[in-house]
Structure 1
Amino acid sequence: MTKTQETQTETQTETQSMKRDFYKLFINGEQVESSNGGRTKVYNPATGEVFAEVAKATKEDAQKAVEAAREAFDNGKWKRFPVNKRSRVLNKIAEIMRSRFNELVELEVLNTGKSLSAAQAQINQAVEDFEFYAGALVGHRGSVNPVPGQFHNYTEKEPVGVCAQIIPWNYPLMMAAWKVAPAIAAGCSVIIKPASLTPLTAIILGEICLEAGVPVGVVNILPGSGSEIGNYLVEHELVNKVAFTGSTPIGKDIMGRASNTLKRVTLELGGKSPNLVFEDADIEAAVDGSIYGIYNNTGQSCDARSRIYIHESVYDEFVEKFIEKTNKLVVGNPFDKATHLGAVIDKNQMDTIERYVQSAIDEGAEILAGGKVLNPVGFENGYWYAPTVIGNVAQDMKVVQEEIFGPVVVVSKFKDEKEAIALANDSEFGLASAIWSTNGARATRVANQIEAGIVMINCPFSAFPGTPFGGYKQSGFGRELAIETLDLYSETKSIMSYYGSRPLNPFGL
């Protein structure tokens, strides 16, 4: 064992293990049970078995968390940290996360059923989010603005206050990092409401933040009911901002509730992202990238490219190769390095996927691959669905227009560039999109006409720390993961001063 490994082992021995039978709420720097003793069972989707319990927050617990976050913000300790000191704390969070990387990955796989490779990539990005904002906050400052006459104007950036951050189940730790890192970098305090299905790594993140030097009360974690705890936080008068990632219907509800107190709101919502394959595309690259674009994270991604439109001249070639590679995907043991697709999150989601596929069949579509529940050996009681390709679809079918959130993709043809753009934009959503073409002028031209917040050209990856992530239309508003995200957690104060030698007398009195 190397000296570095020995040091990491000693650090992990001193820190409470991530794998526990029972996880508590994290309020005001302490692990506490629910006020009424309530607990929720946490399942491993790959096996269908309970592997832990978590405290279930009540409104009383939520009130305590809000008060803790409010006190931590109002006392000003964290927001008055010098920028360089706050930056060091964020880097320390990243350092601790990196030292416990394998533990975080294991816990994420157990709680979500996702593949090992997917979890590793996502935890790594979560670490990099804190590293990115540790640097970005140093340059986040106001400006000096020219004003006619003998006046001087400058602006200052001040943290917006207490932030309620509601996290989805598909990327538990990565989404928590996307929200917590910029919020605390800006000097805010936060209350995270993780998804009831996947609260564990968010709880651990709260503990890591405290260990890294974030003051007590700045980060609080409240696992519990979205309809109860989430709504309570959204409506609370002491909460200044809400950031939500999840479904469009819930996003609309949150926006309405937040309006009563005029909270700032950031919404990253649903998607039904198009993937355009032109006749001049590198077909092999397009197939490989499109496979990843839909089946990464078992298709449970808001940016999943679930509608593939292929030029009619290369449609048969593309679809043949796409199906061939889809059928080679390995679905099973999430901890096996050879596995491509892990489990679906729970039975409700699996049933939803089944209903969508059946609706396609009922409407006359054709199942080209998959289209069935799977039972991998050793994981028969888990929730598994085969990677599925649906052809012969019409644009008005449910599987074309509605978000499925599973490993299901539809394929259809287009005849020219104009039709491709029209089909791509024929959606209430506008989160992500992809273009495959070796013609740079065409790719740029089409990208400029796509109604989506993210356009990928000859690339399957939609986000890295530092690149804006967010959507058009009913995919929400606001951008996460970028420098400008800091502005979403800041107020801009304009300060005007007069430096003339004669007193001002505007009314001439």
Structure 2
Amino acid sequence: MTTIQEGTTERESMKRDYYKLFINGEQVDGSNGERTKIYNPATGELLAEVAKATKEDAEKAVQAARDSFDNGKWKITPAGRRARVLNKIAEIMGSRFNELVELEILNTGKSLAAAKGQIAQAIEDFEFYAGAIVGHGGSVNNVPGQFHNYTEKEPLGVCAQIIPWNYPLMMAAWKIAPAIAAGCSVVIKPASLTPLTAIVLGEICHEAGVPAGVVNILPGSGSEIGNYLVEHERVNKVAFTGSTSIGKDIMARAAGTVKRVTLELGGKSPSLVFEDADIEAAVDGSLYGAFNNTGQSCDARTRVYIHENVYDEFVEKFIAKTEKLVIGDPFSKETHMGAVIDQAQLDTVKSYVQSAIDEGAEILTGGKELKPEGYENGFWYAPTIIGNVTQDMKVVREEIFGPVVVVSKFKNEKEAIALANDSDYGLASSIWSTNTATTTRVANQIQAGIVMINTPFSAFPGTPFGGYKQSGFGRELSAGSLDLYTETKSIMSYFGSRPVNPFGL
């Protein structure tokens, strides 16, 4: 057992051969000694082994979180003091920025530029909630007669947070920061493929002064550990980012204990390019919107609809720039796109592209597996553009989660809006037009939680992130997210000179 000293600078290297569970402020082995092998997606090589949690370990983690919440002082620590700890977390992360970037790249195969941006935002998340919690509180409300009403915000309790593999550290920060800022305790279940930086983040939280038991990291099977946490009667809330199918299952399981749920689920987001758009800007933005993070992003704009009068110009330039993307060494500053996460996901991408071919679509560029020099054993796929599609095709309707985008024409604004909204999902969307009247009208009619106008960027600390329809519910990343981790208590008091006697007896 290795203990990280709270409030000190004692620490291990982030690169290890073996990572343990983090429960109640301690690194511990799994109860049955089993380990999960973690591979580098870029090379296919073994990266590390991670302790695999069991239900017994999950119970210990929930108990640690429960005790830290019920009997500990974190929930009653003044907001300003909690804020100082969150800022200390950000400070430690900043001091170890390069280590975090390196570990994230090794575990995910993503590009250096992508990893740097995501780690930077993870740091900013803690800084943002350090400020947001200080101003978060109740209100005084007007009521008739000789009554006084006010509300208080109280931390919700123990929160189970289930993290996806595409943004391991950033998603962990999105969830941990508001929860502990609000005074909650958490049990984090990172993705089995990418648990390393989440484990390290738990250790950093403790090092910064978060009390033992407030943050617990529990790598293990989603179907076993995730379900156990979702159904646990002593867990008050579940926050999940991942597929819509698993989100539906979580809702059903959480219903048994009527626990609060936040879901950020899948997407099949559109990008609308109008006739008056700055075509160069639209091409550049659509390139990033589709292929950033190797297309493994819930907000990827993978349906691009272009006005028929500029379709040929846009597509020609879009193809040309797509074919210039640098794919290979994730640690190179020149690399634009990294690896696909594993063989299973690579096979999924390939099957979707084949389905498009079978249904009569046309591969405009890409459509093949890659073997970059020096990375022949990794999982790589060419950025792919598919044309001649119809709305009923699988590649148009279903989330692929890879570097595949479809392009199609529209005739007018009404049709563009109809095409954009013709989806079970409603997470993000982009609009490209130089006419502010057009962008305002269209933005007001798009069924999506995030609308980007003349930009591919969807998320900054302080801006709500979440979806409509089957993309989930609840908003993360903003000050309003603190409400997801607090209860609102209404307190009514009477200050009249005579006792209240409603029945007149």
User: Is the pair's TM-score, using the shorter chain for normalization, greater than 0.5?
Assistant: yes
Shift of 1:76: 3.7
CA contact (8 A) 2:22 2:202 kept: yes
Task: Give yes or no for the alignment of 1:312 onto 2:315.
Answer: no
2:257 aligned counterpart, secondary structure: coil
Match of 2:159 in 1: 163
Q: Which runs of 4+ in 1 moved over 2 A?
A: 11-14
TM-score by length of 1: 0.97
The correspondence for 1:201, drawn from 192, 197, 201, is 197
Q: How does 1:203-222 map to 2 (within 5 A)?
A: 203-222=199-218
CA distance in 2, matches of 1:379, 1:282: 37
For 1:20-67, what per-residue CA distance to the aligned partner results, in whole angstroms no more than 9, with x for missing partners?
A: 000000000000000000100000000001110000000000000000
For 1:421-475, what per-residue CA distance to the aligned partner results, in whole angstroms no more than 9, with x for missing partners?
A: 0000000000000000000000000000000000000011000000000000000
Task: Give yes or no for the alignment of 1:281 onto 2:277.
Answer: yes
Match of 1:224 in 2: 220
For 1:337-382, what per-residue CA distance to the aligned partner results, in whole angstroms no more than 9, with x for missing partners?
A: 1000000000000000000000000000000000000000000000
Match of 1:60 in 2: 56
Match of 1:337 in 2: 333
Name the aligned partner's letter for residue 109 of structure 1: I
For 1:379-432, what per-residue CA distance to the aligned partner results, in whole angstroms no more than 9, with x for missing partners?
A: 000000000000000110000000000000000000000000000000000000
1:79 aligned counterpart, secondary structure: helix
CA distance in 1, matches of 2:10, 2:299: 39
The correspondence for 1:147, drawn from 137, 143, 156, is 143
Name the aligned partner's letter for residue 371 of structure 1: G
Name the aligned partner's letter for residue 71 of structure 1: D
Task: Give yes or no for the alignment of 1:388 onto 2:384.
Answer: yes
Name the aligned partner's letter for residue 90 of structure 1: L
For 1:239-277, what per-residue CA distance to the aligned partner results, in whole angstroms no more than 9, with x for missing partners?
A: 000000000000000000000000000000000000000
CA distance in 2, matches of 1:189, 1:216: 10
Task: Give yes or no for the alignment of 1:97 onto 2:93.
Answer: yes
Name the aligned partner's letter for residue 109 of structure 2: G
Pairwise CA RMSD: 0.9
Match of 1:328 in 2: 324
CA distance in 2, matches of 1:46, 1:188: 37
Q: How does 1:373-452 map to 2 (within 5 A)?
A: 373-452=369-448
Shift of 1:331: 0.5
Name the aligned partner's letter for residue 460 of structure 2: F
CA distance in 2, matches of 1:174, 1:473: 24
For 1:256-301, what per-residue CA distance to the aligned partner results, in whole angstroms no more than 9, with x for missing partners?
A: 0000000000000000000000000000000000000000000000
1:266 aligned counterpart, secondary structure: strand
Shift of 1:14: 4.0
1:324 aligned counterpart, secondary structure: helix
Shift of 1:12: 11
CA distance in 2, matches of 1:150, 1:186: 33
CA contact (8 A) 1:12 1:100 kept: no
Match of 2:3 in 1: none
Match of 2:126 in 1: 130
TM-score by length of 2: 0.98
CA contact (8 A) 2:8 2:208 kept: no
Task: Give yes or no for the alignment of 1:45 onto 2:41.
Answer: yes
Name the aligned partner's letter for residue 293 of structure 2: N
CA distance in 2, matches of 1:22, 1:444: 52
Name the aligned partner's letter for residue 156 of structure 1: E
For 1:140-195, what per-residue CA distance to the aligned partner results, in whole angstroms no more than 9, with x for missing partners?
A: 00000000000000000001100000000000000000000000000000000000
The correspondence for 2:260, drawn from 259, 264, 270, is 264
Task: Give yes or no for the alignment of 1:118 onto 2:114.
Answer: yes
CA contact (8 A) 2:158 2:236 kept: yes
Task: Give yes or no for the alignment of 1:458 onto 2:415.
Answer: no
The correspondence for 1:482, drawn from 478, 483, 487, is 478
CA contact (8 A) 2:9 2:207 kept: no
Match of 1:300 in 2: 296
1:260 aligned counterpart, secondary structure: helix
Q: How does 1:26-41 map to 2 (within 5 A)?
A: 26-41=22-37
CA distance in 2, matches of 1:269, 1:494: 32
Gaps of 5+ in 1: 1-10
Name the aligned partner's letter for residue 75 of structure 1: N
The correspondence for 2:246, drawn from 243, 250, 253, is 250
Task: Give yes or no for the alignment of 1:348 onto 2:344.
Answer: yes
2:369 aligned counterpart, secondary structure: coil
Name the aligned partner's letter for residue 158 of structure 1: E
CA distance in 2, matches of 1:12, 1:378: 41
Shift of 1:83: 1.0
Match of 2:4 in 1: none
Shift of 1:13: 8.4
